[in-house]
Amino acid sequence: MLFVSLEGRGALVDVKSSGVIRNYQLQSVYQYGCTFCPMSGTIAVPQLNNCLTMFSTETQQPASRSFTPDPVSCSVCTTDGVFLLCGTVSGLILVWNLMSGQLLRKIKAHQRRITCLSLSFDSSYVASGSEDSLCKLWVLEDLVGFKQKEVHATRVFSGHSLSVNTLTFFHSSPLVATGSSDKTCRIISAITGEQMKLMAVGDPVTSLAIDEDDGVLAIGTSSGFISFNPLTSSAPMGSATVVKPPKDVNPSPVVYLEFTPGATGKLLSASENSIFVEYTKIGQVVREFFPRQKQKTLSCCRVPVLSTAVARQPSVPLAKNPLDIGSDSYTLFLTVAKHVVKKRPRTVEEENEDASTRGRIEETREKIKELSRLKEEVQQKITLLSQKSN
């Protein structure tokens, strides 16, 4: 199945039958905003109004809604479905625990919008691409763990001159393919950060996909072209197959590419003008697997068919801030007794001293009262004398 985010709505599509299983109501999302969460069987759809909605594959109503600290531009979920990683428009990487809803990390990863995130197939590395032209590699264990207070990228690749629009890991080797607006696609090592291969493309690269055997790299461009590049050592240079967009529509960027699993897997593609085409690995058109739509296609993500017998983890709301005390439960293990200050008993000398002090105070008060009375009498006599003189 395939989740398709169009302008104003979403649709869950059966690729085999080309039918719409379920429709959803949603707002605009970024190209790599949607991702599937296998533990809860939901699709995470971060929208531009800072709202991240979890849509269930079984019902039309949202499973949960949460507000994020920053608009999310891309997301990826770990293969076990426990952690959700999101990139934001201000360059943050947010890491949530989907079982508790707790925000574990809030890292300033890039200076500009993070355009794409990718998780290695062995769940050891995370790659991030940004409009600041950088590609950074992170260790997943550092991002989701509490051993380190500060997390830094293990490798930073700065070979691109413009925005990194898309990236993907190889299946069986620690390599990352990146595509950029500088009209190049580069293959870099996740271990050393060195560039292994450079491929020049005639247009800005908008999407990438690698088949299960790591033998073919599909590159989608902003003008709708898709090139199938063999990666085997025996393939001659310049042997890529380039497929043009359909002639009956205006060219538009390719927003989604993904090979289906299996040795005979097909390439599913979607363009911004809602043309959904299935290709073979050598670039031959198989069919259009979804009817053309009037709305623009913004984002797509593959939804595997899960067994109904598998128990699903309920979708919980996501915390907006790290360690949100108002939404988490805590267990009291130890209490500390309150420190009580006891007064020292007074001695006889102190009591006698206090008594004499109180006596002097009372004597002073009596003198003050006597002086006040004398003052009033003097004022009265002065008043009488002044009246007689008049």
Q: Report the chain's mean pLDDT, rounded to a whole number.
A: 87
- Range with the poorest average pLDDT among 106-110, 195-199, 208-212, 315-319: 315-319
Q: What are 329-368's pLDDT values in tens digits?
A: 544 455 555 556 666 676 767 667 777 777 788 888 888 8
In this model, does residue 228 exceed pLDDT 60?
yes
Q: What are 180-222's pLDDT values in tens digits?
A: 999 999 999 999 999 999 999 989 999 999 999 999 999 999 9
In this model, does residue 305 exceed pLDDT 50?
yes
Q: Per CATH, which fold does 2-302 belong to?
A: Methylamine Dehydrogenase; Chain H (2.130.10)
Q: Contact 235/223 with Cβ under 8 angstroms?
A: no
Is 140 or 148 the better-scoring residue by pLDDT?
Answer: 140
CA–CA distance, 357 with 347 (Å, rounded to integer):
15
Give whole-number Cα distances, 225 to 73, 203, 238, in Å.
24, 9, 16
Q: What are 29-44's pLDDT values in tens digits?
A: 999 999 999 988 899 9
